[in-house]
Chains A and B, each alone.
Chain A
């Protein structure tokens, strides 16, 4: 019998913000252990939350093989233990640091209310198996999800400052928030000329599920039958990247480590890979993509962790004059790839700077055009963030 053992420890520190004040501090600690047993082409899984008895879990996983869930084993070895990253903020310094941030924001933008959350999280995951693999990875990040509300506005919120960072830089946050507010306070009409749109790559996220092997193999994916074919523009590449800063975990939930931590789904416009687990790879005769994830007690499934576009430009200045999407919620795609994206807040961008607030918009376009003839760039930003630039159809809402 072969075994895999995965141990995960996660600590989270979270502050709630209401009416520009820190109102609570939350401490989370989660520890899980997963044991997978393989025998005769089947998988058996046992998981524990909190302190785990490994021998009991092994016995339970072996017992679970009787359920008859078919799954290939295909274990491989390898050793790598990444060092733990530096602490972003000491626990005792979290509340004072964010109080100071909010006080400064309140002073410099007293017409606005800030709310929601700032979260710090640390994760350590280890993986070992009976083929000799032994891996340890760490992730540490600081996530801002601050709502910004004009005190004169009747909206629940007017903007969101969302950012994932790896160090605390109060001055940078204040500067970026104030730049957003300055643009918000300057309403401008829709530009007469057609401008490219700078948006989160999530604008084309409805496409991502079409890369999943089960969807691809079923024939119901927009990409079904197109493996090896040119589907997007020459400058468009889509990959899973398990290197920092995209994700701190260099191995997936099945212990797969890709060469250079990368696996391409689209390379220079050519569709070349699907998101697989070992099971779906075997089922559809596809390469293992190293993109499996799993709950502590569940069978692995394909995930989008580390999915990104290859960058083609750097910084907002590369977009020149453009429409910048600040907040868009509720968009989707038809079965033929037609996107409809309501944009609740957009700015006019000139030479990489926000210059004014545009009216509410609707974006449209077919996903193959957006990543084909209408594609302009994918812009690299700090901390692994990126933005898609494309010639969407733009209509005032």
Chain B
């Protein structure tokens, strides 16, 4: 039992984490490991500054905590500090994966899934395959000097099938990926015919893709790309930590401002199972669903307790850290564009000449955001045309948000076990994203 001292706010987060990583390259087992690590992150706040420590010595957390107290200065009025007052005091046990933990699935079953997926990658053009199985089960505990006591868990598992294709001077690398929160569910969604079809499409693409003439064109983003677009174009700008102490930004980002086209709504939610599931954030705030843009209007932003107090708003459960090596900062969970009212066919019919971005390698966002696509196709008279090679598509964030002129009527939400979100020193953070097919009337294609 930790002894918290008077005159300070303190909290302690403990993660007991199990991971599996299996790699099969060209049929040969390259990696096969399962590990369990327990770490803790401790915070002490004295009203002026935060003091943090990260440790693997979870048997003696009191010593670490006392060390932080020694560095800080006690404050008689700490309980009246607005940040301290705003911390939620939740007591809960929220364990969803105790009866289906990936830690209990034998390594042989996981390896068999990897081998089955690898056998689905065929073709003379396939020069290398690397199939990975990755899982994680984390049991968290959180305690604060205000009395919070939480136990909750997180779980993910997935298969990534990466391949390198080559024929003559042509080459292409890409990956198929499926993820879920339960191993039995994952096993049912990693389908041989789907992998085979994806590999064939990539082979066709490699052989036939033509360069594009750089310029501005209408584009349609597939749901996965739309999710990255939402995350990169607007999600990061909704993280309120960049507004601390900045009066210009507070005025520029006043709630109620028009920031996108009337049909555009984007939300972030930690409630849904998947790679962005966060029942409680890393300072004990209960997860919620936060609309960032609703019908084109700035509707909310993502907060830690500190940023919520600074801006006079409510914490949203978005204070997250990639691990117990780091302090929580404001991060997204699962960021999604709401569906619209057009069928996919109607959406494409509205493009005379443009490009369809089917998947991507990565995206990033500042005032200008960028997506580096993999599979792209020309759209001619509303129909899908030839494959094309595009290095990047870019656009000014606000201009592009106002140029969203069509959304399909069904959305998809994706989870992942590779990659993740990077912010400052912390990467990769597990997040989810998704959306419908999104049509943008003009973007720069290069």
Contacts and interface: CB of A to CB of B under 8 A. Distances in A.
B425 A119 contact: yes
Contacts of A215: 128, 164, 173
A19 B370 contact: no
A246 to B, nearest CB: 21
Contacts of A139: none
A364 B446 contact: yes
A145 B368 CA distance: 21
Contacts of A28: 53-54, 325
B187 interface: no
B331 interface: no
Given A29-B55, A219-B166, A362 B35 contact: no
A220 B446 contact: no
Interface string B391-418: 1101000000000000000000000000
A191 interface: no
B246 interface: yes
Contacts of A67: 29, 32
Interface in A102-139: 113, 115-117, 119
Interface in A322-365: 327, 329-336, 338-342, 344, 360, 362, 364
B378 to A, nearest CB: 15
Contact of B242 (A14, A156, A331): A156
B211 A338 contact: yes
A23 B172 contact: no
Interface string B367-388: 1111110000000000000000
A53 interface: no
B56 interface: yes
Contacts of B57: 50-51
B368 A220 contact: no
Contact of B30 (A26, A156, A299, A395): A299
B49 A19 contact: no
B246 A344 contact: no
Interface residues of B, number: 71
Contacts of B391: 331-334, 338-340, 364
Interface stretch (B247-255, B346-354, B433-441): B247-255
B392 A330 contact: yes
A297 interface: yes
A69 B33 CA distance: 11
Interface in A140-186: 145, 149, 151-157
B249 A154 contact: yes
B349 to A, nearest CB: 29
Contacts of A31: 56
Interface in B130-184: 130, 164-166, 169-173
Nearest to A217: B128
Given A26-B52, A26-B54, A220-B172, A331 B392 contact: yes
A16 B306 CA distance: 14
A220 B173 contact: yes
A250 B366 CA distance: 38
A25 B246 contact: no
A289 interface: no
Interface residues of A, number: 73
Contacts of B444: 362, 397
B364 interface: yes
Nearest to B445: A340
Interface in B12-65: 21, 23, 25, 28-33, 35, 37, 39, 49-57
Interface in A79-108: 95
B324 to A, nearest CB: 10
B390 A220 contact: no
Given A24-B49, A332-B361, A333-B391, A70 B28 contact: yes
Contact of B237 (A26, A156, A297, A331): A156
Contacts of B424: 116-117, 145
A312 interface: no
A218 B246 contact: no
Nearest to B252: A154
A30 B323 CA distance: 13
Given A154-B248, A299-B30, A364-B446, A220 B127 contact: yes
B227 interface: no
Contacts of B50: 16, 23-25
B231 interface: no
A237 interface: no
B297 interface: no
A26 B327 contact: yes
Contacts of A23: 49-50
Contacts of B237: 156
A222 interface: yes
A157 B242 contact: yes
Contacts of B390: 334
A354 B424 CA distance: 26
Contacts of A334: 211, 389-391
A201 interface: no
A19 B245 contact: yes
A22 interface: yes
14 contacts: A23-B50, A25-B51, A69-B31, A70-B28, A113-B245, A117-B425, A156-B237, A219-B164, A220-B171, A330-B363, A330-B371, A335-B206, A338-B389, A360-B368
Given A220-B128, A333-B391, A344-B368, 6 more contacts: A27-B52, A50-B56, A218-B164, A332-B370, A336-B389, A340-B372
Interface of A: 14, 16, 18-31, 45, 47, 49-51, 67-70, 95, 113, 115-117, 119, 145, 149, 151-157, 214-215, 217-222, 224, 279, 297-299, 327, 329-336, 338-342, 344, 360, 362, 364, 395, 397
